[in-house]
Amino acid sequence: MDLRAMENESLLLLYLMDELPPHDRNEVAAMLHTDASLREQLRHLAETLKISTQAMRRLDELDPVIPSFSAKQRLEHAIRQWNIDRLARPAVAEPARRRIPLWMWSGGGAVAAVLAFCIWWGISGDFDSGSPVPLNGDSNLANANSSYGTDANSNPAVAETDPFSPRRVLVSSLDQRAEVLDNLEQTVREDLR
């Protein structure tokens, strides 16, 4: 430790409290032996320390520190009281979890089945191909309606008359696109003029 870098009061306080290593303590003692003003500062610090220590003792006598045993008892009592108060409070009822009634499960299943059927019907696209099967076993009805439900791809006559045949939808969409492109081209030409 560099004693020359420290302030005199700090150095003297360390000396007074006996917190210096023996080598440094001997060096400070030599400085005190040669310097009268340093000895005067040490005497003043010693008196101040004595007065403050006496004042602290008087304050402790007036307002004694709680003994550790008593503090421990107070803490234990406070913890026990907290537990008693916590257990005495009425329990807060947790909100009941809403359960789905059984009839909603069956209704949801029915809706899912209908939805699955509709999706399957829409995806299959060729749902009514072939002859219908009569419900009462009358085979004449099936033979009389032989043109009902024929495939539009295999019968060109049906493809021309059926507005929802894939070929007719494709042709009409291509016609609409060509018409839009023609209108756009005509608008651009008019704007350029």
What's the confidence (pLDDT) of residue 61? 83
24 backbone φψ class: left, alpha, beta (φ>0; ψ -120 to 50): alpha
Residue extents of the structural domains in the chain:
8-85, 123-192
User: What letters, b where the CB count within 10 A reaches 16 and e where it falls short, cover 26-40?
Assistant: ebbeebeeeeeebee
Cβ atoms of 127 and 111 within 8 Å: the answer is no
For CA atoms 120, 121, 124, 129, give the dihedral sign.
positive
Q: What is the pLDDT of residues 124-138, one digit of tens each?
A: 765 455 544 444 555
Q: What is the DSSP letter of 145?
A: T
The dihedrals phi and psi of 172, each to the nearest 5 degrees, come to -65, -35
| Greatest mean pLDDT range, 22-31, 66-75, 115-124, 161-170 | 22-31
Report residue 112's pLDDT band, with 50, 70 and 90 as the boundaries: very high
pTM of the model: 0.34
Query: Tokens 């789905």 correspond to what residue?
Result: 100
